Structure 1
Amino acid sequence: MNIPKGKKVYFASDNHLGAPTKEESFPREKKFVAWLDEIKHDAAAIFLLGDLFDFWFEYKTVVPKGFTRTLGKLAEISDSGIPIYYFVGNHDLWMHGYFEEELNIDVFHKPKEFTFNDKSFFIGHGDGLGPHDKGYKRMKKIFTNPFFKWCFRWLHPDLGVKLAQYMSVKNKLISGDDDAKFLGEDKEWLVQYAKRKLEEKHRDYFIFGHRHLPLEVKLNDHSSYINLGDWIQYYTYGVFNGENMELKRY
């Protein structure tokens, strides 16, 4: 993808709209929509790196109620010709066509590599990557198992969504508590993952979410790991201007 002069590529992650309640997350949603409205004027592309919603499950004929302003703004931007790319997170694993069909947004379930001008980007949500997080990796296999998804689909949406939201807000990180701290490069799983990927092939930037902590870590003289933070505490996002990548706060 060539980035024209004056245009930029934007990245955001981890809004968790609906947490801890829809009412409490509504001001955050309005702020995010305002940001989208601002960046559409110079955006060459927008990347959303997962967990836009605190819970999202697509039934055959039903999607979760709410978030109309966000979905409407994304549809407006997509209809204007600006490409939007979505990487599912651990809270919206169950996307199966709605974003593609209704919003014309490409959805990815695994990390993917992109090249902007002469810079290479390795992009993903970040959940389940790295040498540890074994408990979550086992749980993810259950969440993505076709049989268990089929079973959950037979729960009435009022019950299924309520149950999932209750389980979600039990996680302090997702609820927005400020207990996310930098653990050091040797204990940051996504840093370790990026370093291992560098042994296979050079990438200029590794861009992830999931961690809820804005981070910029130099992996070597020519490669960096960037975590986008979140839109719960930090309201941080990434922007690539065609030459350099940086984190900013809205």
Structure 2
Amino acid sequence: MQIPKGKKIYFASDNHLGAPTKEASLPREKKFVAWLDEVKKDAAVIFLLGDLFDFWMDYKYVVPKGFTRTLGKLAEISDAGIPIYYFVGNHDLWMDDYFETELNIPVYHKPKEFTFNNKTFFIGHGDGLGPGDKGYKRMKKVFTNPVCKWLFRWLHPDIGVRLAQHLSVKNKLISGDDDAKFLGEDNEWLVQYCKRKLETKHRHFFVFGHRHLPLNINLDNNSKYINLGDWIQYYTYGVFDGENLELKKY
């Protein structure tokens, strides 16, 4: 895909709307909606890299209550013909077809490669990739098991959503979140994952979320790893102008 002159690609991740409570996250939601309203003016594509909500579950007939401002703005942008791509994170693993059927937003459950202006991007949320983090990887297999998802759906939504929100905030193993401190390139597992991917195929940009740290790391002379940070502490996002990908703060 060639990006039209004057247009840009935007990336954001890890809003965790609803945490620690919906009331407490409302100012952050309003700020994110204001950002969406601003970037839609020159956006060619918008990528949302997961954990937009602190918990999300597509039941057969209902979805979690709230987040009307965000969903309405996404619908407006999508209806205007601006493509939005969504990658599920570890807090919204159970997103099914609601975004696709209601908002016309494709949903991806694994990292995916894109090419814009002859620049290759490898994009995903980032959870469960690279070496280590074995406890979370085992937990993710449980959560994504079709039988486990089917059993959870039998809980009344009032019970299921409350239980999931409690576990999301309280249990670090389930959330997959580490303390957001830079561990050095040798210990950052997403950096190691990107370097291993480069051994088999070159990509110009690896773009992930999940770490809640804004990072811009050169992997070699012509490849970068970008972590988008979050919309809790940093309010950072990525923007590609057709040639360069930069991190910016809103």
Query: Does TM-score exceed 0.5, indicating one fold?
Result: yes
Inter-CA distance 48–22: structure 2 relative to 1 (3 Å threshold): same
- Hey, what's the Cα distance between the residues in 2 that align with 1:218 and 1:174? 31
Segments of 4+ moved more than 4 angstroms: 171-175
The 8 Å contact of residues 136 and 174 in structure 2, kept in 1 or not, is answered as no
The answer as to 2:37 corresponding to 1:33 is: no
Distance 1:170 1:194 in 2: 30
Q: How does 1:80-229 map to 2 (within 5 A)?
A: 80-171=80-171, 179-229=179-229
In 1: Cα distance, 2:173 partner to 2:242 partner:
33
- Give the structure-2-normalised TM-score: 0.97
Give the length in aligned residue pairs. 249
User: Does the Cα contact within 8 Å between 1:14 and 1:49 map onto a contact in 2?
Assistant: yes
Give the distance between the partners of 1:233 and 1:179, measured in 2 at CA.
13
8 Å Cα contact 1:16-1:174 kept in structure 2: no
Does the 8 Å CA contact 2:11/2:48 hold for their aligned counterparts? yes
TM-score (norm 1): 0.97
Distance in 2 (CA, whole Å) between partners of 1:115 and 1:153 is: 37
Distance in 2 separating the partners of 1:134 and 1:87: 22
Distance in 2 between residues matched to 1:232 and 1:173, nearest whole Å: 20
Cα shift at 1:171: 4.9
Residue type matched to 2:41 in 1?
H
Find the aligned partners of 1:178 and 1:28 in 2 and give their Cα distance.
Answer: 21
Q: Residues 23-43 of structure 1: CA distance to partner in whole angstroms, max 9, x if unpaired?
A: 000000000000000000000
RMSD, aligned CA: 1.6
Amino acid paired to 1:102: E
3-state SS of the aligned residue for 2:136?
helix
| Structure 1 residue 164 displacement after superposition | 0.6
Provide the C-alpha distance between the structure 2 equivalents of 1:231 and 1:209, rounded to a whole number of angstroms. Answer: 11
CA distance in structure 1 between the partners assigned to 2:7 and 2:165 by the alignment:
38
The alignment-based identity, stated in percent, is 83
Partner of 1:20: 20
Residues 95 and 179 of structure 1: CA distance in aligned 2, closer, same or farther (over 3 Å): closer
Q: Distance in 1 between matches of 2:228 and 2:60?
A: 32
Structure 1 distance, partners of 2:74, 2:33, is: 9
CA distance in 2, matches of 1:115, 1:81: 19
Task: Find the aligned partners of 2:174 and 2:40 in 1 and give their Cα distance.
Answer: 28
Q: Are the counterparts in 2 of residues 33 and 69 from structure 1 also a CA contact under 8 Å?
A: yes
Unaligned runs of 5+ in 1: none
Give secondary structure in 1 for the equivalent of 2:60: coil
The answer on whether the counterparts of 2:205 and 2:223 sit within 8 Å (CA) in structure 1 is yes
